[in-house]
């Protein structure tokens, strides 16, 4: 059975936007970082779609990870789901079993890394500050990248929104910055888009989503309060165009529903 266009879109969003966040987990989670510090391996992760393999490759090199957007001819471990739908179900926190082939010694660590991405799930509500900070950091890094990928994958509404804009920066940051280390941005220019980490310094932001604390960012990302209420209650301030801030927030909500 062929995967639907929606399922293929979700799979590509996971590969291109969520999986790169694995590096944040390795950098900021001491236990996970230690587990991968001396590991070098190539892992293929994907699903069958008729005769096609929809897959990406994780290149792990002593605490550094690179995500290649294609299958691998030479890998140490392969996790292959029978359908794209079942693969997406697992990545969204459901239950699905892949076919596992290769060096099974690697499996526990790889699964731990994949499950680490679940920190972005609305069901995960860490109480420890460092875990809250990690959740917010991963979530914002993922969503800004996903916005750009969504445009590049050809969603009609996102394409139209990006096409009618000149060179604009949508900045996100969480106070107290730089102590939190949480800042990222989306750049949109005449149909093109690019995400990045940190504060964009070459141009003033067209819209700045300025979260006043990690706690406030948590409330917004968990949808404990609606975005407008979050602004009213002082969890976040939007500096710049309120119209375009709301439009971008709508796209973020769509992506969060697809990926969590």
* Residue 41 CB neighbour total at 10 angstroms: 18
Residue 44 confidence (pLDDT): 98
Q: What percent of the chain has pLDDT over 70?
A: 100
Residue 260 confidence (pLDDT): 87
Residue 227 confidence (pLDDT): 85
Sketch the domain layout of the chain as residue ranges.
5-120, 129-259
Mean pLDDT over residues 232-237, rounded? Answer: 94
Can you state the angle between helices 242-259 and 129-152, rounded to 10 degrees?
100
Residue 21 confidence (pLDDT): 98
Distance CA 15, CA 65 (A): 13
What's domain 129-259's architecture?
A: 2-Layer Sandwich (3.30)
Distance of CA 204 to the CA centre of its chain: 25
Q: Give the CA distances from residue 232 to residues 28, 219, 227, 235, 242, in Å, rounded to whole numbers and listed in that order.
A: 32, 13, 9, 8, 13
Residue 218 confidence (pLDDT): 95
Residues 165 and 251 sit within 8 Å (Cβ to Cβ): no
Residue linked to tokens 């690019």: 194
What's domain 5-120's architecture?
A: 2-Layer Sandwich (3.30)
Residue 226 confidence (pLDDT): 86
3-state secondary structure the chain: CCCCHHHHHHHHHHHHHHHHHHHHHHHHCHHHHHHHCCCEEEEEEEEEECCEEEEEEEEEECCEEEEECCCCCCCCEEEEECCHHHHHHHHCCCCCCCEEEECHHHHHHHHHHHHHHHHHCCCCCCCCHHHHHHHHHHHHHHHHHHHHHHHHCCCHHHHHHHHCCCCEEEEEEECCCCCCCCEEEEEEECCEEEEEECCCCCCCCCEEEEECCHHHHHHHHCCCCCHHHHHHCCCEEEEECHHHHHHHHHHHHHHHHHHC
Residues 65 and 178 sit within 8 Å (Cβ to Cβ): no
Residue 1 has pLDDT above 80, yes or no: no
Distance CA 18, CA 256 (A): 11
Residue 228 has pLDDT above 90, yes or no: no
Residue 19 — pLDDT band, cuts 50, 70, 90? very high
Residue 164 has pLDDT above 90, yes or no: yes
Residue 25 — pLDDT band, cuts 50, 70, 90? very high
């Amino acid at each position: 059975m062929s995967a639907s266009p929606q399922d293929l879109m979700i799979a590509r969003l996971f590969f291109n936007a969520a999986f790169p966040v694995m590096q944040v987990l390795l950098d900021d989670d001491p236990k996970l970082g230690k587990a991968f510090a001396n590991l070098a391996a190539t892992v293929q992760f994907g699903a069958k779609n008729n005769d096609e393999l929809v897959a990406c490759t994780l290149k792990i090199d002593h605490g550094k990870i690179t995500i290649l957007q294609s299958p691998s001819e030479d890998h140490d471990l392969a996790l292959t789901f029978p359908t794209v739908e079942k693969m997406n179900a697992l990545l969204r926190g459901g239950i699905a079993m892949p076919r596992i082939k290769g060096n099974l010694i690697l499996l526990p660590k790889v699964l731990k890394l994949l499950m680490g991405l679940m920190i972005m799930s609305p069901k995960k509500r860490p109480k420890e500050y460092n875990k809250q900070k990690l959740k917010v950091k991963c979530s914002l890094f993922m969503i800004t990248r996903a916005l750009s990928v969504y445009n590049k994958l050809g969603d009609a509404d996102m394409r139209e929104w990006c096409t009618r804009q000149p060179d604009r920066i949508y900045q996100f940051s969480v106070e107290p910055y730089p102590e939190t280390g949480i800042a990222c941005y989306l750049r949109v220019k005449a149909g093109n888009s690019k995400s990045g980490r940190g504060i964009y310094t070459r141009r003033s932001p067209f819209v700045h989503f300025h979260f006043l604390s990690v706690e406030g960012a948590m409330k917004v990302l968990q949808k404990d309060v609606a975005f407008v209420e979050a602004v009213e209650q002082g969890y976040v301030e939007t500096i710049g165009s309120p119209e375009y801030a709301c439009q971008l927030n709508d796209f973020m909500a769509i992506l969060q529903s697809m990926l969590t």
